[in-house]
Amino acid sequence: MVNSNLQEAIENLKISDLYVRDLICKCGEGFDPKYFDMEGLIFQTKHMVTKSEVVQSDDDLKLFRVFVDVGIKWSSDAKEEQTDLDYLALIEATYVAEYRITSELNKECLDEFALRNVSYHVWPYWRELLTSQCERMRLPRIILPTVQFAENHGKLPEQEDNPD
C-alpha cells in the first residue's frame, strides 16, 4: 500500500543516476573457492539503507542521494556470534541512487521514499554484480530472487502496529 508521503515522493523524484560507490570482494586467508568443497557452506546477506542527503549542484539542481549497503558473506558454520573476520568469502557494495527533486518535499516524504522505494531501483544492479562477481571469484553461483526485502516493509523503528 502506497501512503500519501510515498506517493508524493514518487511523483516528485526522478532517477538521474545509480552507481557503485564502494566494492569489497575478498576471500579469507587460506580459502581458495576453486579447490574447496563448497557443500555445507552457509551465506548471510546484508541489505540496508544507510544514509540519505539532499545536495544542491552548481546549476541549481537539487538531488536526493540515497546510500544502500548490500552484501553476502560465506562461512563454514552458523555460529551466532560471528565477527567480520569469520568468513570464507565476502562481496559487499555500497550503491548510490540519485534523484532529481522536481518539487519541494518534506523530510517524511524523502524518508519514506528512501526506505520503501529506492531498493527496488538498486536491486537489479546488485543481482547482476553479485552473479558476475561470484563467477569471477569461482564462488558458488547465487541467483538472488527478483526482489528480496525485509518483512518490516519500511517501518521505522519507532513505528508501531497500532492502526490509530
Total residues belonging to the chain: 164
Question: From CA 28, how far away is CA 39, in angstroms rounded?
Answer: 17
C-alpha cell belonging to residue 1: 500500500
Is residue 135 within a helix (H) or strand (E), and if so which, with residue range?
helix 118-137
pLDDT of residue 85: 58
* Domain layout of the chain by residue ranges: 4-137
Reading the chain (164 residues) residue by residue, the pLDDT tens digits are 568 999 999 999 999 999 999 999 999 888 888 888 777 788 889 999 999 999 997 778 899 999 999 999 998 865 554 445 578 999 999 999 999 999 999 999 999 999 999 999 999 999 999 999 999 999 988 877 776 455 444 444 443 444 44
Question: From CA 117, how far away is CA 107, in angstroms rounded?
Answer: 15
Question: From CA 31, how far away is CA 60, in angstroms rounded?
Answer: 50
CATH superfamily for domain 4-137: SecB-like (3.10.420.10)
pLDDT of residue 145: 77
C-alpha cell belonging to residue 117: 522505494
pLDDT of residue 156: 46
In angstroms, what CA-CA distances link 160 with 149, 153, 164? Answer: 19, 13, 10
